[in-house]
Amino acid sequence: KMAMQDMNAVLSGLSGREQKELMLSLEEMQLKENFTTYNGLVERCFANCVTTFRSKTLDEKEEKCVTRCAHKFFKAVRRAAEVFSTGQTPPPSALQSPE
Amino acid sequence: NKVLIAKNEMAAINDMYSRMINRCFEKCVESFHDGELGLGESACIDRCVQKYGQCQVKVGEVMQKLQDKMAAQMNAQQGGAMPAR
């Protein structure tokens, strides 16, 4: 949200055509970041949670681990974003809503 | 714009694929005394690929739930003007 202000500052220095070009690149970067985040998270959670291959399906423990891993990641992202944008540290996450 | 989306989707699949291959190789192939895949290694890779796919589904479910939750919160703030996705 703070990034929006910086973006407006950048945009105001460009012509209409350049702005369109930039917005298209931005859209492309956003799409790429979406799948990179998702794929990276799958990889990370898989690497940490799935350690044996006697079976071809995730057992209950692995399933829970993967789910928790994903939840924790987004909580960490949210917290990091908050600290980054406000410069303040929020209270410990025990106070946030449960998953 | 459709090209952009299609291009992106292909890049996403490529990216997933190479991560999966790297992880399954790392987890299933321990030694290089032999240049061929052993029976155990082959079975491991089969199962690894399947499990990786299941992880993808699980993570996707978490993301979907979070998106729905965010959409619901936005709805509440806007007085319920828009339906959830």
pLDDT score for B74: 93
3-state secondary structure of B44: helix
Interface check B58 vs A, CB under 8 A = yes
CA distance A81 to A34: 16
Select the residue of A28, A39, A57 nearest B16 (Cβ to Cβ). Answer: A39
pLDDT score for A92: 75
CA distance A42 to B52: 8
pLDDT score for B79: 76
What confidence tens digit (pLDDT) does each residue in B25-52 have?
999 998 888 889 999 999 999 999 999 9
Residue B13 identity: I
Q: What is the pTM of this model?
A: 0.80
Tell whether the model's pLDDT for residue A99 goes beyond 50. no
CB B8 within 8 A of CB A35: yes
Q: Look at B63 and A70 and tell me if their CB atoms are within 8 Å.
A: yes
For residue B51, give the nearest of B29, B24, B26 by alpha carbon. Answer: B24
Q: Look at A47 and B46 and tell me if their CB atoms are within 8 Å.
A: no
What confidence tens digit (pLDDT) does each residue in A57-94 have?
999 999 999 999 999 999 999 899 889 888 888 787 65
Please report which residue ranges of B29-78 form alpha helices under DSSP H.
39-77
- The DSSP secondary-structure symbol of A59 reads -
Q: Look at A28 and B4 and tell me if their CB atoms are within 8 Å.
A: yes
What average pLDDT does the segment B5-14 reach? Answer: 94
pLDDT score for B19: 96
Select the residue of B5, B16, B23 nearest A47 (Cβ to Cβ). Answer: B23
- Name the closest residue on chain A to residue B50, using Cα atoms: A56
CA distance B28 to A70: 24
Average pLDDT, chain B: 91
Select the residue of B8, B47, B58 nearest A67 (Cβ to Cβ). Answer: B58
Tell whether the model's pLDDT for residue B84 goes beyond 90. no
Q: Higher-confidence residue: A84 or A41?
A: A41
Give Cα B44 distance to the centre of its chain. Answer: 19
Average pLDDT, chain A: 87
